Structure 1
């Protein structure tokens, strides 16, 4: 029985939540392995919209055990706000497991995130200001606070003291902010400890035993390939490994156990925050995609930058993640366009690049080489087989498949859970 990975293959917001949710009925565990509440998934079930940030999408599937892995950084206030919101809507959250080794976002991490971004001015990264990056930095610098530390006040206090010895110098002397006290930080973190305790587990052990027992485990990535700290458009990236490789470090499940890696791509492209975006449209067509596709951040509400499908990015993502399948989302957004351009290569100062430039400067200056495909006017939201699609829509999908280097196994034609065409089984 397989371990299946679902990752974003562009800059995020591709519809990973819906893809994960659709697979939920077939899986036993859904694991979030990276990131924090700096991104979100929107899932629509029977017309009801659910916006998830920290919780895995599997929380909405009865019988599925949702897991927050050790690679996630957790804002405890946000976690319980999200849990409470689902409980009031009748969702059972009792199965949720949280890794004892996951790191916790302390109040000072949020403060440092916000003041640092303001300090950068025009060189800003586009962070959400939720303390994600500083928490990962603490993890790497070995001054981080982990979930298990909340259950030993002496250890927690020692770790907070050690962290604030350094951070208060930075806040007071560089950023002209008040010092943060150890007491207020410890008090803030401890108020969640007893409620959190029943959820905390040795999740790597549980997941490996589940695979041993023939259970199906789905790993759900936050953010996306082009925001990966190693393989994305650095420095305009997130602070974790959002690619398939992050599954192993972020969950404690080894690479030999992974059977399928599914990349989710939109039928066009979007990006939030700063950084290069070769196919970006700064005209009425960009506004059309934004309005028609509802391209506003689930977590921040920020308008997303919109552009045409980038096959160079798709090929790169396929290679970096070792993709076995693509899920293509939001094909319906393109309905009504006479012509649909696709980026097949880049032009950098007269030099053609068919693959991602290794030099960030070249990618920053890349101009898209576009090929146009005929559009369609027919409503496709009720299509449930590939043959139900208009001929031009079929041709567009097949062209993207050929250009992107991996088969397109599912196609989203609307926001609802059932508005999907399945061409190949994603689990078996």
Structure 2
């Protein structure tokens, strides 16, 4: 196997960080290809808790090169803060072990301001992180965005920001009535940040091309999850990038090759942060118990995650939408010892019973159908799992028609069982 993609198979927060970290140890290159600092990967190493938002998990391994691909929207100020935090954890970042695409789209102060104002004063609350992600992708698609390479020339940067501000200025003045910096002030701020970031900027597409030619092992690290994909997710309550496997080809590149294995990280139950429909959401003591025991609070925002039973129709859909070849079932320990255990196996929707979701389905109108499972009480101290837990895993495998390759049962690196070899 030369390449592996790690994709969130639900609404994000599935526990990708630890698994990316463990499998990244076997790789030469770890790549981020979409999203921005609206994502958060929490990795526990001994007594240290490291939270990464922009920087790929490969930085935790000295032999790895970490790459931020051109599909990422890049906040220079957030990157500098994160780089300092990582350095304080004893990790030395250099232009050799961290490379940032000079073609990344830049999150400006205007993007963050617009994001926050829309969420606070707009007619529809999406539940964004307020990090400016959506407005930055808007600038990119409308062909008036700022690229990382623009930060290295003050005149070019100022000219582009002046053009970028024309429409936004009308919104800030007339609709939201908020203060904002001039194009010259924002250009100076970004230019100074650009000086510090310039050593890391490079042509990452060619670097990945060369790495593939040299038969190096590559891991592509996804942020969020397939159900938040701008095209495949529960629109409009989604993020603004392609979080599915397809985002790799547009956001980083895999020249002349295809992905060898696509691993979907899947919680043994389901969670969601922010707004939007959630068919299996639990509003009772069981949901609160899962939330508390699972520590379901966002790494980026600290917001409580809504909790519910495992949704197999949605999982089957993400398997198909992102060409998953196996899944990692995480946080299994949270369900251990519960008095009741269920999975959703189908929906009643528009007079039919369906067992697989699809793009555009109105999840607010589905009625979930549940199957009661036998409870398990594993403590995960032995190499074998209980029959009840094995039955739970088998139920999942048979439904989605791909294997469960990994079982994870805690935040530590050691709290994991591999049922399949990767790399």
* TM-score where L is the length of structure 2: 0.97
**Residue of structure 2 in register with 1:367 after alignment:** 367
**Residue of structure 2 in register with 1:305 after alignment:** 306
Shift of 1:92: 2.3
**Residue of structure 2 in register with 1:269 after alignment:** 270
Question: CA 1:179–1:17 in 2, change beyond 3 Å: closer, same or farther?
Answer: closer
- Maintained 8 Å contact 2:112/2:132: yes
Q: Residue deviations 1:53-91, cap 9 Å, x none?
A: 111111112211111110001111111111111111111
Question: CA 1:306–1:205 in 2, change beyond 3 Å: closer, same or farther?
Answer: same
Shift of 1:254: 3.9
Q: Distance in 1 between matches of 2:233 and 2:158?
A: 36
Shift of 1:257: 3.0
Equivalent residue for 1:420, pick from 416, 419, 422: 416
Q: Distance in 2 between matches of 1:234 and 1:176?
A: 29
Shift of 1:18: 1.0
Answer with 333-342 or 25-34: which moved more: 333-342
**Residue of structure 1 in register with 2:102 after alignment:** 100
Shift of 1:133: 0.4
Q: Residue deviations 1:378-402, cap 9 Å, x none?
A: 312x34x4xx212211111111111
For structure 1, list consecutive stretches of 5 or more residues without a partner in the other structure: none
Shift of 1:119: 2.3
**Residue of structure 2 in register with 1:159 after alignment:** 160
Question: CA 1:212–1:255 in 2, change beyond 3 Å: closer, same or farther?
Answer: closer
Q: Residue deviations 1:227-278, cap 9 Å, x none?
A: 0000000000000000000001100224733211111000000000111110
Equivalent pairs, count: 421
Equivalent residue for 1:402, pick from 393, 398, 401: 398
Shift of 1:129: 0.7
- Maintained 8 Å contact 1:105/1:131: yes
Shift of 1:178: 3.0
Q: Distance in 2 between matches of 1:62 and 1:410?
A: 25
Give 3-state SS (helix, strand or coil) of 2:417's partner.
Answer: strand
**Residue of structure 2 in register with 1:230 after alignment:** 231
Q: Distance in 1 between matches of 2:257 and 2:357?
A: 28
**Residue of structure 1 in register with 2:141 after alignment:** 140
- Maintained 8 Å contact 1:99/1:202: yes
Shift of 1:100: 0.5
Q: Distance in 1 between matches of 2:12 and 2:37?
A: 13
- Maintained 8 Å contact 1:325/1:426: no
Matches for 1:275-294 after TM superposition, within 5 Å: 275-294=276-295
**Residue of structure 2 in register with 1:336 after alignment:** 337
Q: Distance in 2 between matches of 1:257 and 1:359?
A: 28
**Residue of structure 2 in register with 1:393 after alignment:** 389
- Maintained 8 Å contact 2:345/2:369: yes
Shift of 1:15: 0.7
* TM-score where L is the length of structure 1: 0.96
Q: Residue deviations 1:308-333, cap 9 Å, x none?
A: 00111111111011111101100011
Shift of 1:188: 1.3
Matches for 1:3-82 after TM superposition, within 5 Å: 3-82=3-82
> C-alpha root-mean-square deviation of aligned residues, in Å?
1.3
**Residue of structure 2 in register with 1:178 after alignment:** 179
Answer with 234-243 or 60-69: which moved more: 60-69
For structure 2, list consecutive stretches of 5 or more residues without a partner in the other structure: none
Shift of 1:37: 0.7
Answer with 256-265 or 323-332: which moved more: 256-265
Shift of 1:358: 4.6
- Maintained 8 Å contact 1:164/1:180: no
Answer with 185-194 or 63-72: which moved more: 185-194
- Maintained 8 Å contact 2:7/2:264: yes
**Residue of structure 1 in register with 2:348 after alignment:** 347
Q: Distance in 2 between matches of 1:206 and 1:357?
A: 36
Q: Distance in 2 between matches of 1:274 and 1:51?
A: 24
Q: Distance in 1 between matches of 2:251 and 2:146?
A: 16
Q: Distance in 1 between matches of 2:93 and 2:341?
A: 43
Q: Distance in 2 between matches of 1:179 and 1:45?
A: 41
**Residue of structure 1 in register with 2:193 after alignment:** 192
- Maintained 8 Å contact 1:248/1:255: no
Q: Distance in 2 between matches of 1:352 and 1:359?
A: 17
Give 3-state SS (helix, strand or coil) of 2:155's partner.
Answer: helix
